[in-house]
Amino acid sequence: FGDESLSSRPMGRVIEPLSAMGARIEAQGGTLPAHVLPAQAPLSAAHYDSPKASAQVKSAVLLAGLQAGGTTSVTEPAKSRDHTERLLPAFGVPVEVDGLTVSVTGPARLHAHDMSAPGDPSSAAFLAVIAAVLEDSELTVENVALNPTRTGAFAVLERMGADISYANERLEGAEPVGDVHVAFGPQLMGTVVTPEEIPTLVDEVPVLAIAAAAAQGETVFQGAGELRVKESDRFAAVIEGLAAFDVRAWGEGDELHIQGTGEPLYLLGDALADEDSLQLPTYHDHRLAMTWYLMGLATEAPVVLDDASCVSGSWPSFYADIEGLM
């Protein structure tokens, strides 16, 4: 059931709608491990109004709906990642999308299909941010998924002043794919990230905090409460980590505020030059480990991570790949 960080994530929001459909799931404290027991009757089709835009919850309900008789639908307050509803038709299951409501009709049988998986935009965002904040940097990340529900980080970086362009755009299977070119932004500017944008970049908020730290003015991530229930409390961890670099960040309800320095990030490292090391906790969270490693490169500060190995869960060669670019 995953590592310690994944096992601490709240599963109640998945268990609740599945239980309403007839699934029998027991999870002490609402987290993993969970025990899935035989259902006492076939699953029932249902409509679920999700209180949050969550692709995980939506996908769980829709996939369960494939085993239920009738139409199962999910309505969200904002559009979340839509990989599931894009992929299901390729495997022989019709999907109906009506605004923020997605529906499937079961019982349905999936049919095998060859697929090509494009590059992960969440991982590409780390490369994009470091290129945007390091002077004279530019790079191209090839074969990146450009699904509009996943490209919010690129849009925000471009809005802040990074030089971003796209090439070789095409459709592979059900997903738009292309190459992302990013170049240094001489003066990034703070911005407001709206609640509607958060689902398109929620996993990229930690690394976007690096761009926010370099920017002129304040950056606000509105509706960012979901960060508290990721592999760690990323909301608190971003504030804590930035403070170690003397960057002011704070929370106001579900809003994450970062006051940018408006200066090259290496100047932050100059202020920390007398430190033997800058010890930063990762909370065994791969996104935080990658973020603080890149912040160390950008600031030239002597960053030491308490668990550098946790990046292996999503990008085992991360450190070698970054060093190869420097």
Q: What is the DSSP letter of 216?
A: B
Set 203, 233, 274, 276: catalytic member: 203
DSSP letter for 118, please: P
- Helices within the chain (DSSP H only): 4-7, 12-20, 55-65, 83-87, 121-133, 152-160, 205-214, 234-244, 266-271, 286-299, 318-325
- 203 given a catalytic annotation: yes
Closest CA to 211 of 241, 185, 180, 183: 185
Distances, alpha carbon 144 to alpha carbons 164, 172, 206, 208, 324, in Å: 14, 11, 20, 18, 19
**How far apart (Å, rounded) are the C-alpha atoms in residues 33 and 137?**
44
**For residue 32, what are the contacts with CB-CB under 8 A and spacing of at least 6?**
1, 2, 6, 7, 9, 11
Where are any strands of DSSP class E within 8-54? 24-26, 35-37, 47-49
Q: Which residues are marked as active site?
A: 203
